[in-house]
Amino acid sequence: MSKAALLTAATRHGGGLMQAAAAYPDAPRPWLDLSTGINPEPWRGPRAPEAELNRLPDPGALVALEAAAASAFGATLERATATAGAEAVIRLLPLLLGVRSVEIVGPTYGAHAEAWRAAGVATRLIAADQAAASQSGVLVIVNPNNPDGRLSRRADLIAMARARSAEGRWLVVDESFIECAPGDSVSDVVEPGLIVLRSFGKFYGLAGVRLGFMLAAPDLGLRLRALLGDWPVGVDALTMGRGAYADTAWRTRTEAVLAERVARLDEQLTRAGFQIVGGTSLFRMTRTPHAARWFQHLCRAGILTRPFDHTPDGLRFGVPIERDLPRLVRALEAFG
């Protein structure tokens, strides 16, 4: 994509608030960004001290971060490799695995297909009920799925990982939103062909620091690290990631808070005529015959949601905090 195309595509990509503001100059400010599934109430521990910006991140601090995260995931340290966001793993997996075919359970987060296609790998989207029978070199499942929240059950994923491993095939489970469904995580499962991706930014609300993880066989982790170099993440990621993953009280409390928050949103969306297709406690996928008009109407009210090329009658809402809900409700009521 050219730099110009990058800019114009940004509003459809999530996180393109600056572009949306330019396209709707009369919209009230500040914008309410519901275009992503990022927790708007982040974990609030200290950032890296100023002095640490001045140094290369300490390799020991990287291991300490990976240990804290692995422990939170129920995984062992040797399986955890920190990266500058799950995105970094998604983009490099095709190079790491070197297979000739991939099947992706979709529609889902678009970067998966983009990455495999860019690497010249034969890429096919399949339906969820075709996953167990997949014979491709790699099978990718986003769990819970983005944008529709479809959940794959832990027992089914373990069975698939086992069967595929026995045949020398890979199963990639993208658990970017798994904190919303922790019982179905397979982050703790050890199978030679199983690769799990984790995202720090979404549940912990700190997408700006860029932190994610690959959980996989140690030799694969070392090859990923070799592609990323010795300082894959910045000092804020080291400090905040370590603090947040060790904070189990915050995690438990936040699970409950998010569940309450999404129930209130669902009530309002249903009242406004949206059909709620699914989602997680961080985003809701809705269906409406007027998706494009709704998107524009909400933009004029300074509220950014997420439309989809692959589902023109779909609109995804991030889940606002209680304080921001009345603004959304007013905009929902003003549609006509």
Nearer to its own copies, 57 or 144 (CB): 57
For the CB of residue 284, give the shortest distance to its own copies in the complex, in Å: 19
For the CB of residue 327, give the shortest distance to its own copies in the complex, in Å: 17
User: Token digits for 130?
Assistant: 């075709």
For the CB of residue 48, give the shortest distance to its own copies in the complex, in Å: 7
Nearer to its own copies, 157 or 328 (CB): 328
Residue closest to 90 by CA, chosen among 183, 179, 206, 175 = 175
DSSP string, 225-270: HHHH-S--S-HHHHHHHHHHHT-HHHHHHHHHHHHHHHHHHHHHHH
Are 35 and 17 contacting, i.e. CB atoms less than 8 angstroms apart? yes
Q: Distance between CA atoms of 312 and 294, rounded to whole angstroms?
A: 12
Residue closest to 286 by CA, chosen among 307, 261, 264 = 307
Nearer to its own copies, 204 or 274 (CB): 204
Burial environment of residue 158 by CB neighbours within 10 A (0 to 12, 13 to 18, 19 or more): middle
For the CB of residue 141, give the shortest distance to its own copies in the complex, in Å: 20
For the CB of residue 77, give the shortest distance to its own copies in the complex, in Å: 6
Nearer to its own copies, 125 or 228 (CB): 228
For the CB of residue 109, give the shortest distance to its own copies in the complex, in Å: 12
Q: Distance between CA atoms of 186 and 153, rounded to whole angstroms?
A: 9
Nearer to its own copies, 193 or 205 (CB): 205
Residues at the contact surface with its own copies, assessed by CB under 8 A: 1-3, 6-7, 10, 13-19, 33, 36, 38, 40, 42, 47-48, 52-63, 66, 77-78, 84-85, 87-88, 90-92, 95, 111, 114-115, 118, 201, 205-210, 218, 222, 225-237, 240
Q: Distance between CA atoms of 85 and 28, rounded to whole angstroms?
A: 31
Nearer to its own copies, 40 or 192 (CB): 40
Task: Say what the alpha-carbon torsion angle 38, 40, 44, 46 is, to the nearest 10 degrees.
Answer: 60
For the CB of residue 57, give the shortest distance to its own copies in the complex, in Å: 6
Nearer to its own copies, 9 or 256 (CB): 9
Q: Where are the beta strands (DSSP E) in the chain?
A: 32-33, 80-83, 101-105, 122-126, 138-142, 170-174, 194-199, 212-215, 275-280, 283-287, 303-304, 306-307, 314-318
